[in-house]
Structure 1
């Protein structure tokens, strides 16, 4: 039976609703023993393996997909190593579209990396370990990712594989950024860029490097440079029709908001690339920009409630908006307390429409940070605001005088020594 007919028969059964029959046909194809010389049968089995993986992906059956990957190793041993790497990566990627399958995906990837090591398939092992680091990062399993990164980097530096080296350094930067180790995150990104400069860097990988550069500049509050990197990222992903372009656009808008340039948001949204990615993500950033422009805490909170998934699920967006909200609250509090020397905390809370306890804590923090001078009279439930204290220059002037006197005495002492 021809390859197309066999796989076509399985497809016909699946499309007709006979999933069990189609699954049985595909499994029977894979169970046939064959030699490396029988190219037609090998090609047939390869097609059957991919179709079976797609079937389990479509039916959201992560366990069956995992079993298929494990049982296919015998078949994998009989085909070209380059093709094996592509097949396994494709099958493992299918897990990404099955909800709640991240742990199974990690386990299967780990098992296959160990199998590749035993079979001395070094290229496949390194590819799978790179994939595993990415999965650990997505699952926030940073403790598992870091030692694997260190081990893999040692191997890659010996082999001088610049492409995988770039990917691993990029992942290293992301993991270190996630655990707030910013110096290591920057160093890893520099290493990734150095490796990428010595090879042809695929556009998608270059866009990822630009994205990480933008993220790290934003962490340094250098939102202008961050914006330029995110713009490069947007162009790179858009040309490749990569869905991550939407995220780059969100980060661009975030930078404009953090730069107090909320009025630029509408102009960016109307740009040639941005119109293509209009949706809830863009609407969320637009709502935040409007609230920030109006200095409205209520509008800000409304945007956070309405677009919770779009604004809170991304830790980078969440952290910067948290800082922005804190600044906005501080500005509103300063505006309200400015006319007073003594004001009830409950009145301030009412004006900013925030809980009294939260306002009390924020005012306490602002006093400690010397944003303004005052004390909290908790017994009376009031804030007492002091005038800006005049700096007393007497102490500094006295020190300066003593310094000059000391210089004069030293000079006289040297002259006296010369005379004797």
Structure 2
């Protein structure tokens, strides 16, 4: 009895020390505590020791600049769990390690770990952990811009979720990833619906990621050219719970887009750099939006002219001349309008829209159809002979 009490007291001491190291932001001591506690943790029931180890490793997330040490500690603990034949702990830690690799942009290492882990989980039919790993796989493939595999992994994750009870936070994560992938396909209407579901899910659990879902909802409205809706959404009952720079950033972008002002757009990007440029999801979509807005402004400016100085266009859009020249060149190649750049004179020469003669297209279609008929007749003749 005394031995059990002494062991229980040691367990509490380990947890208290871990809490102190977390509060003191002492990642090195926390790592040493996990390493030095293995002998004791190996002698107590597996369920209890697993809970303690996971709690201690979770403390790393509260310590700034500890990602590298957290990865190393996770790797060491995975090896220990293998030697101790603790399968459940190994799977849990490998899932955590793959997520850490993804966070550290070590995507190849994450996929190398995810592949064997998925096979193992499918064999054991552990659908809850399987769901988490499939969702993580989708996120990694999205980060690698492999949308086909990201969608396939997400579909597999949703299939696993349908077979079990899916906790609200995990369901919200699934909805978030669905919204992100639909937005990548420029299906912003469907993406908005998923982000709304995500907001409700995170909000019901008081999860701070709710503000991210709200931010992406506003992004979808802007990309749908429905910037007017941004204010009504942010003044809604649910959104009012999440004021802050993320929402302010999207409101600034919406206002700039509504006014078709490149100057205001760039000002918003500069003012809210952390909320806009540092968010990879928002940054990629705003880059497309900025490009579209720039094209619209340039076409509106050059429309009355047949010949205009590039410096004059740059002055009107308040952008550097070389940037405007590069964009005009791209628009000419994309046939957004017809013209040429006279770089010697520093001018843009705009041509009238050419009248397309349909005779050539019709002739090509006729020849193509004749070729098909001749081929068909040749095949029939070959069968007769």
Q: Same fold (TM over 0.5)?
A: yes
Distance (whole Å) between structure 1 residues aligned to residue 274 and residue 259 of structure 2: 23
Matches within 5 A, 1:48-197: 48-197=13-162
Secondary structure of 2:130's counterpart equals helix
2:326 — aligned with what?
A: 361
Following the alignment from structure 1 to structure 2, what is the Cα–Cα distance between the partners of residues 402 and 249? 55
Secondary structure of the corresponding residue to residue 380 of structure 1: coil
Q: Any residues of structure 2 matched to 1:278-289 within 5 Å, and which?
A: 278-289=243-254
Find the structure with the greater CA-based Rg. Answer: 1
CA distance 1:120–1:264, shift in 2 (3 Å): same
1:392 maps onto 2:357 in alignment: yes
From 163, 167, 187, the counterpart of 1:202: 167
**Distance in 2 between the 1:407 and 1:95 partners?**
68
Please state how far the C-alpha of 1:399 moved relative to its aligned partner.
Answer: 4.5
| Structure-1 residue corresponding to 2:5 | 40
Change (3 A) 1:266 1:156: same
Tell me what 1:258 maps to.
223
1:344 matched to 2:301: no
Q: Which moved more, 1:41-50 or 1:254-263?
A: 41-50
In 2 relative to 1, CA 393–114 (structure 1 residues): closer, same or farther, beyond 3 Å?
A: same
Aligned with 2:236 (options 257, 271, 275): 271
1:81, distance to aligned residue in structure 2 (A): 1.3
1:3 maps to what in 2? none
| 1:48 Cα offset (Å) | 1.0
Q: Residue 269 of structure 2: which of 276, 290, 304 is its match?
A: 304
Output the CA distance in 2 between the equivalents of 1:405 and 1:312. 55
Judging changes above 3 Å, is the alpha-carbon distance between structure 1 residues 400 and 314 closer, same or farther for their aligned structure 2 residues?
closer
Q: How far 1:398 moved relative to its partner? A: 3.8
**Residues paired across the two proteins, number:** 378
CA distance in 2, matches of 1:332, 1:404: 43
Shift of 1:39: 2.8
Structure 2 Cα separation of the partners of residues 408 and 152 of structure 1: 55
CA RMSD in angstroms comes to: 2.1
Aligned-pair CA distance for 1:271:
1.5
Say if 2:256 is the partner of 1:291.
Answer: yes
Query: TM-score, normalized by length of structure 1?
Result: 0.86
Give the whole-Å Cα distance in 2 for the aligned partners of 1:101 and 1:408: 70
Cα separation, 1, equivalents of 2:148 and 2:368: 41
Q: 1:164/1:345 Cα in 2 relative to 1: closer, same or farther (>3 Å)?
A: same
CA distance in 2, matches of 1:357, 1:85: 60
Aligned with 2:308: secondary structure? strand
Shift of 1:400: 5.8
Q: CA deviation at 1:42?
A: 2.3
1:183-237 alpha-carbon deviations (Å, 9 max, x no partner): 0000000000001110111110000000000000000000000000000000000
Structure-1 separation of matches of 2:167 and 2:127: 12
CA distance in structure 1 between the aligned counterparts of 2:244 and 2:365, rounded to whole angstroms: 64
Structure-1 residue corresponding to 2:382: none
Pick closer, same or farther for the CA change 1:152–1:399 going to 2, 3 Å: closer
- Where do 4+ consecutive residues of structure 1 move more than 4 Å? 399-410
> What secondary structure is seen at the aligned counterpart in 2 of 1:38?
helix
Q: Match of 2:278?
A: 313
* Deviation per residue, 1:80-134 (Å, 9 max, x gap): 2122222111111111121111000010011101110111100000000000111
Question: 3-state SS of the aligned residue for 2:319?
Answer: coil
C-alpha distance in 2, partners of 1:71/1:285?
48
Secondary structure of 1:149's match?
Answer: helix
Per-residue deviation, residues 135-171 of structure 1 (Å, max 9, x unmatched):
1111111111011010101111110100000000000
**Which moves more between the two structures, 392-401 or 169-178?**
392-401
